[in-house]
């Protein structure tokens, strides 16, 4: 049995170029074999990315038996179609978040995966960074007492008159789908439970009805999570866990590589008076950690620790938030 998973990438998306390609090259149990593009850039991109093969269509890549797994960074509305096709070709799949646009699609995707005996995972890469295990350790040790509130924010400025796919409703655009999903995910990830009810409000583009700024409250059994996301605000990607005896801050929660101090993950513990009492920093490439984990699951025939069930549950919360927006 080979000690490396052969990877293929469907499309030449920027997230693949900037983050996933370097991660696959860096992971010791993965190898980038092929790139597929339907825009005529396949050969050029494969050469730039260091892939051995190129394909002028996504189907051509899926028909290559030497490819073990595919990464799908296509627009959100295309995730379901191509995950199911990949599953039918017996390819394991790492699909960008959100994995689909509704929970019914997630059910269909998982049925296709189970029928064809392949693993699939939604690419919430941030959860593989060690800074979050530090947070969980501090929480389990009771260092901030009982958790009472979580605050999570993810925003960045986007040219709102552009043709960016994040602003295309038909392709699954919107700030909640694109970055708010992280805030939902981390709230569930930290509490290890599902919210009882949700409420959301948003600022939308008049022409497209796309949410460009969304604020929401997720009500859990004993904790409220206050989240916000935006395409129209300064860069922020952080969360804070507040308790009866202190708080924990993670200032570069979802993209620690955006930290100007060497791209480090940072976790800050504060006492009840708001004074810093502990500080930890972590160096890791969360994209590489994600690729390594998923590749190891394929090689060892063990299910990824981030399950399709959790993906489904995250989507149910997003659906409820969008319903709240009206």
Residue in this structure with the two tokens 């960008």, named with its chain if needed: 96
Q: At what angle do helices 103-115 and 79-88 cross, to 10 degrees?
A: 10
Phi (first) and psi of residue 155, to 5 degrees: -150, 160
Report the half-sphere exposure of 139 (CA within 13 A, side-chain side).
21
Q: What percent of the chain has pLDDT over 90?
A: 98
User: What is the pLDDT, as a whole number, of residue 169?
Assistant: 94
CB 90 within 8 A of CB 118: yes
Q: What is the mean pLDDT of the chain?
A: 97
Mean pLDDT of 194-215: 96
| pTM confidence score | 0.97
CB 83 within 8 A of CB 59: no
Could you tell me the pLDDT band of residue 2, with boundaries at 50, 70 and 90?
confident
pLDDT tens for 10-34 read 999 999 999 999 999 999 999 999 9
The residues, ordered by sequence, that sit 6+ positions from 282 with a Cβ below 8 Å of its Cβ are: 129, 130, 131, 134, 256, 264, 265, 266, 267
Q: Is the pLDDT of residue 1 over 90?
A: no
- Residue 36's nearest CA partner among 6, 3, 58 is 58
Instruction: Enter the tokens of residue 196.
Output: 């009882």
User: What is the pLDDT, as a whole number, of residue 157?
Assistant: 98
pLDDT tens for 242-282 read 999 999 999 999 999 999 999 999 999 999 999 999 999 99
């Amino acid at each position: 049995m080979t000690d490396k998973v052969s990877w293929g990438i469907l499309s030449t998306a920027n997230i693949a170029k900037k983050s996933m390609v370097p991660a696959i090259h860096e992971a010791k149990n993965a190898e980038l074999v092929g790139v597929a593009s339907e825009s005529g850039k396949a050969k050029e991109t494969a050469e730039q990315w260091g892939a051995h093969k190129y394909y002028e269509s996504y189907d051509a890549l899926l028909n290559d038996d030497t490819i073990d797994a595919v990464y799908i960074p296509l627009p959100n509305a295309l995730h379901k179609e191509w995950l199911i096709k990949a599953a039918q070709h017996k390819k394991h799949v790492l699909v960008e978040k959100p994995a689909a646009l509704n929970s019914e699609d997630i059910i269909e995707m998982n049925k296709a995966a189970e029928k064809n005996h392949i693993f699939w995972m939604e690419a919430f890469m941030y959860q593989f960074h060690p800074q979050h295990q530090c947070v969980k350790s501090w929480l389990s040790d009771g260092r901030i007492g009982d958790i009472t509130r979580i605050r999570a924010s993810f925003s960045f400025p986007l040219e709102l008159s552009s043709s960016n796919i994040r602003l295309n409703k038909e392709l699954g655009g919107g700030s909640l789908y694109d970055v708010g999903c992280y805030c939902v995910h981390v709230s569930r990830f930290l509490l290890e439970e599902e919210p009882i009810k949700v409420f959301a409000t948003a600022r939308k583009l008049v022409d497209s009805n796309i949410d460009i700024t969304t604020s929401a409250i997720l009500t859990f059994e004993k904790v409220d999570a206050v989240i916000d996301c935006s395409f129209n605000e300064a860069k922020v990607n952080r969360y804070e866990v507040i308790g009866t005896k202190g708080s924990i801050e993670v200032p570069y929660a979802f993209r620690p590589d955006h930290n100007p101090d060497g791209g480090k993950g940072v976790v800050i513990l504060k006492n009840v008076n708001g004074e810093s009492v502990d500080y930890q920093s972590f160096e890791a490439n969360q994209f590489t950690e994600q690729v390594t984990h998923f590749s190891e699951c394929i090689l060892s025939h063990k299910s990824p620790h981030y399950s399709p069930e959790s993906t489904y549950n995250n989507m149910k919360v997003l659906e409820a938030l969008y319903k709240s927006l009206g």
